[in-house]
Amino acid sequence: MKRRFTILSQYPEIKDLYGYDILTLYIAIIGVIIQVTAAYIFGRWLVNSDLTMLIVSFILGGTMTQMYSIIIHETAHNLAAKADFQNRIVGLIANIPLPIPIAMSFRRHHLVHHAFQGVEKLDPDLPSELEKNFGCSTVFKLLWLLFHPIIYPIRNVSVFRNLQLWEYINLIFTLSTNIVLYNFCGYRGLLYLFMSLWFGYSVHPVAARYIQEHYTFDDGQETYSYYGSFNTIFMNIGYHTEHHDFTNIPWTKLPEVRKIAPEYYENLAYHTSWFMTQWNFITLRQFGLQNRVKRSFNAHKRGRKMILKVLKKSLESEEIL
């Protein structure tokens, strides 16, 4: 909050970057066509190519799953279209090749994550105490990544016990599209989509961004960006620090934030390789589920009040000048 205010006071032109980008919708539609086509090929044509399906579901399917995840992330912040309803529709479109209803639940959970980042029992992104009790061994961390597609929703259920209207709509929509996909692609086609989702949310290299974003690799720093070359392909999702500072800037304009205000980001620790982020997390004992900044709700409130006081004094001093 403080950095955002400071940057805006110095570079008010950043507000010109606010808005949405309809390009996200077009990418979603193309992505759905690609993945459904692959599901049809494995469901109707390559019916005896199990190894090929396994490999393609990791390479292509996992990659496309991450693309849908990023698109759903954009829609959660209303960055894919002008209106809230339109963004929800884009989110549902991106959910078509994902045989589990994700878009609306993610939207709900993710906005709470932004509001209560690091707050115990409120931030759904924080690993539970049960998860952390299993230790920091390489085997456990690898298993944790492999089963992340199950662990994450279970964790969210413990925080959000009741479904909301749009989550029910998402559930009905996904069940309906699954029936259509089953009839069109066959059971193997649907299996391909399940495998793609599993790889995409677990051990796929781009899934390392879930580690990159908030696992502490530098003392005191809570949020990290990734500035590697894959940002070009994966919709600048690596610009996570910039995103947390300015959640109303679409992915196509996020790099501009760092260009306009480089002094606020160049001194921060960041990642340049998702593969190495994943590898180091798995193999090095000093990195594990305990590497998250946590605070109580009361500490969160005190911190917010203190920042608001500082900002108020800053505004008053500017008025005097």
> Any idea what the Cα angle at residue 200 is, between residues 195 and 202, rounded to 5°?
95
Check pLDDT > 60 for residue 257.
yes
Give 258-301 pLDDT, tens digit per residue: 999 999 999 999 999 999 999 999 999 889 898 888 888 877 77
Which range (74-88, 96-110, 124-138, 225-239) has the least confidence?
A: 124-138
Check pLDDT > 90 for residue 56.
yes
Half-sphere exposure of 151 (CA within 13 A, CB side): 18
**What sign results for the dihedral spanned by CA atoms 244, 248, 251, 255?**
negative
**Residue 146 belongs to some domain of the structure:** yes
Q: Which domain holds residue 68?
A: 2-315
Instruction: Pick the more confident residue, 243 or 312.
Output: 243
Check pLDDT > 90 for residue 243.
yes
> Any idea what the Cα angle at residue 161 is, between residues 155 and 166, rounded to 5°?
105
pLDDT at 305: 66
**Residue 80 belongs to some domain of the structure:** yes
| Conformational region of residue 263, where left means phi above 0, alpha means psi within -120 to 50, and beta covers everything else | alpha
Give 295-321 pLDDT, tens digit per residue: 888 777 776 666 555 445 544 544 444
Concatenating the DSSP letter of every residue in 26-77 gives: HHHHHHHHHHHHHHHIIIII-TT-HHHHHHHIIIIIHHHHHHHHHHHHHHHT
- Residue pair 195/51 in contact by the 8 Å Cβ criterion: no
Which range (26-30, 125-129, 267-271) has the least confidence?
A: 125-129
**Residue 320 belongs to some domain of the structure:** no
**Residue 297 belongs to some domain of the structure:** yes
Residue from 310, 116, 318, 321 nearest 214 by CA: 116
284, 110, 99, 206: CA torsion to nearest 10: -30
Check pLDDT > 70 for residue 246.
yes
Give 160-178 pLDDT, tens digit per residue: 778 899 999 999 999 999 9
b/e code 145-180 from CB counts within 10 Å (16+ = b): beebbebbbebbeeeeeebeebbebbeebbeebbee
- Residue pair 251/237 in contact by the 8 Å Cβ criterion: yes
Q: Structurally, how many domains does the chain consist of?
A: 1
Instruction: Pick the more confident residue, 209 or 307.
Output: 209
Q: List residues bridging with 226 in a β-sheet.
A: 271
C-beta neighbour count of 139 within 10 angstroms: 10
Check pLDDT > 80 for residue 250.
yes
**Residue 321 belongs to some domain of the structure:** no
Look over the chain and give the mean of its residue pLDDT values, rounded to a whole number.
91
**Residue 98 belongs to some domain of the structure:** yes
The predicted model gives 218-240 an average pLDDT of 93
**Residue 47 belongs to some domain of the structure:** yes
CA distance 206 to 63: 7
